[in-house]
């Protein structure tokens, strides 16, 4: 490190499990960029002070992870259209003392679909399981990509209806439907869809069941699980047995990181190198 080294950070609580430091540092080093990436565990009560401190210390920017993404919104001077609609920030650029908030989770997901599958969402029918933060980011970006329709399936009715209303407000031309987990019509809807996404947290923990039954899958359906650890969730296992094409969330993780990297440095890093750095 020198006096010219530029610093970026990740703030979260906890943050020890984050793969971002090794992923970004490997990419900075590979491109010969004099940058340093530092994780900071920030308690929710200290968030505002921590953000001010990063600004004062001359950081170039930072990533934001659970539980701070939504709380970042009022702290920003500017918001990207995605971050504004989603209501959450995962990447901040600090330029001339101003904080610009972005959300690269949704764009990272779309990049993963395009680069790993050659799948372009325009005019497609998509089924999204979940209506939490990650689902909101994915659904918003699918709408920016001009999908034909999205079926939102979520356990708690209020959350799926709020997401539908938000999407209707910003993207009135896109058909948004909502379903409960066991609703009649859901199986038929999935059988006429191009892509089924799990954006619930079911599958993260050992013993979790699949968020949907096996008969929802059909041969050739594309099935994407946002979860990357474990790499093969019960959801993806069932889909694979049924002859679906499957992907886990490791591509989304790496692409959201690559897009953040580009925001700070202006350069696109090697995504394969970033993936290798975190051994996915
Ligand atoms: P949230 O806590 O915001 O949302 C969780 C979602 O899971 C909600 O829709 C919730 O439904 C649903 N859910 C939780 N438990 C159950 C259950 N027992 N049965 C049915 N539904 C359930 O989490 P996030 O949106 O932030 O994250 C969701 C997943 O996405 C996580 O697994 C996370 O690891 C992954 N993720 C991956 C990323 C990547 O880069 N690959 C990036 C971001 C997230 P309800 O509303 O009813 O509570």
Q: How far is 108 from 254, CA to CA, in rounded Å?
A: 7
The answer to whether residues 80 and 100 touch, using CB atoms and an 8 Å cutoff, is yes
Q: Note the pLDDT tens digit of each residue in 21-41.
A: 999 999 999 999 999 999 999
In this model, does residue 280 exceed pLDDT 80? no
Asked if omega into 230 is within 30° of 0 (cis), the reply is yes
Q: Note the pLDDT tens digit of each residue in 58-117.
A: 999 999 999 999 999 999 999 999 999 999 999 999 999 999 999 999 999 999 999 999
In this model, does residue 131 exceed pLDDT 80? yes
* pLDDT average, residue stretch 198-204: 95
In this model, does residue 211 exceed pLDDT 90? yes
Average pLDDT taken over every residue of the chain: 96
The residue contributing the CA closest to ligand 1 atom 38 is 226
In this model, does residue 14 exceed pLDDT 90? yes
Q: Note the pLDDT tens digit of each residue in 216-228.
A: 999 999 999 999 9
In this model, does residue 182 exceed pLDDT 90? no
3-state secondary structure 243-278: CCEEECCHHHHHHHHHHHHHHHHCCCCCHHHHHHHC
The residue contributing the CA closest to ligand 1 atom 6 is 200
Position 184 scores a pLDDT of 85
Banded model confidence at residue 205, pLDDT cuts 50, 70, 90? very high
Catalytic choice (4, 45, 55, 69):
69
Span from the CA of 198 to the centroid of ligand 1 (angstroms): 8
HSE-up of residue 214 (Cα within 13 Å, Cβ side): 7
A 10 A CB-CB count for 86 gives 26
Give the closest residue to 131 by CA, choosing from 158, 169, 170, 104.
158
Position 183 scores a pLDDT of 87
240 is catalytic: no
% of residues, the chain, pLDDT over 70: 100
* pLDDT average, residue stretch 156-165: 96
Q: Which atom number of ligand 1 is nearest to the Cα of residue 229?
A: 34
HSE-up of residue 235 (Cα within 13 Å, Cβ side): 29
């Amino acid at each position: 490190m020198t006096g010219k080294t530029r610093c970026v950070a990740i703030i979260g609580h906890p943050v020890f499990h984050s793969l971002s430091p090794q992923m970004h540092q490997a990419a900075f080093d590979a491109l010969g960029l004099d940058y340093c990436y530092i994780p900071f565990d920030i308690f929710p009560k200290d968030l505002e002070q921590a953000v001010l401190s990063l600004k004062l210390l001359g950081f170039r920017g930072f990533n934001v992870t659970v539980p701070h993404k939504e709380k970042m919104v009022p702290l920003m001077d500017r918001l990207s259209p995605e971050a504004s609609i989603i209501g959450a920030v995962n990447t901040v650029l600090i330029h001339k003392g101003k904080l610009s908030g972005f959300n690269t989770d949704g764009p990272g997901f779309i990049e993963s679909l395009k680069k790993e599958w050659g799948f372009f969402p325009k005019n497609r029918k998509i089924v999204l399981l979940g209506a939490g933060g990650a689902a909101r980011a994915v659904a918003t970006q699918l709408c920016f990509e001009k999908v034909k329709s999205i079926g939102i399936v979520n356990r708690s009715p209020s959350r799926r209806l709020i997401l539908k209303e938000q999407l209707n407000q910003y993207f009135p031309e896109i058909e948004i439907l909502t379903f409960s987990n066991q609703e009649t019509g859901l199986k038929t809807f999935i059988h006429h869809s191009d892509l089924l996404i799990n954006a619930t947290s079911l599958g993260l923990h050992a013993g979790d069941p699949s968020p949907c039954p096996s008969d929802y899958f059909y041969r050739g359906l594309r099935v994407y699980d946002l979860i990357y650890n474990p790499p093969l969730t019960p959801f993806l296992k069932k889909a694979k047995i049924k002859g679906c094409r499957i992907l886990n969330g490791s591509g989304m993780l790496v692409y959201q990181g690559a897009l953040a990297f580009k925001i700070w440095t202006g350069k696109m890093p090697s995504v394969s190198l970033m993936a290798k750095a975190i051994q996915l």
